[in-house]
Amino acid sequence: MDTDIIEDIWKESPKSIDELEKLSLHSMLIVLAAYIAMGIGSLHFLLTMIDHFEPLKVFQLFINLIFGFSLLLARYRMNSDPKKWAVLAGVFSLLLLGLGGIVGGLAGLVGIIGAGLAFLSTIDSSYDF
């Protein structure tokens, strides 16, 4: 992946609650789902590894990191082709829901709601959330 895109995603991603509040509702939910997947997923992995090693938790960590970042990418690209990236955000959220463990399930639910609202706003402008 091009490092310029990663830097752009980092610059565009909100880093405080004030920046998060300035986003539209669907963008806020998608970013929140990504942060839940990557942040809380990493913390959950570290806390479960203290007790004993489980290979399934390593797999869930990778799923949470990969699809959490994919949600940030979808939100970043949503300006170029909103309908396509809203659907992809929904797919990423479903994968988190199914494969990400308990933290991925939480992030997936939040992401599905955000992706659904993003898709609705592309269909009809009166649903601009």
100: in domain: yes
Calpha distance 84→75 (Å, rounded):
11
What does the DSSP 8-state code read for residue 80? T
41: in domain: yes
The tens digit of pLDDT for each residue in 83-121 reads 999 999 999 999 999 999 999 999 999 999 999 999 998
- pTM value? 0.89
Residues 6+ apart with CB under 8 A from 41: 60, 61, 64, 65, 68, 100, 101, 103, 104, 107
- Nearest 5°: the CA angle 48, 91, 112 is 75
67: in domain: yes
The tens digit of pLDDT for each residue in 7-46 reads 888 888 888 889 888 988 999 999 999 999 999 999 999 9
User: 41 is in which domain, residue-wise?
Assistant: 18-127
57: in domain: yes
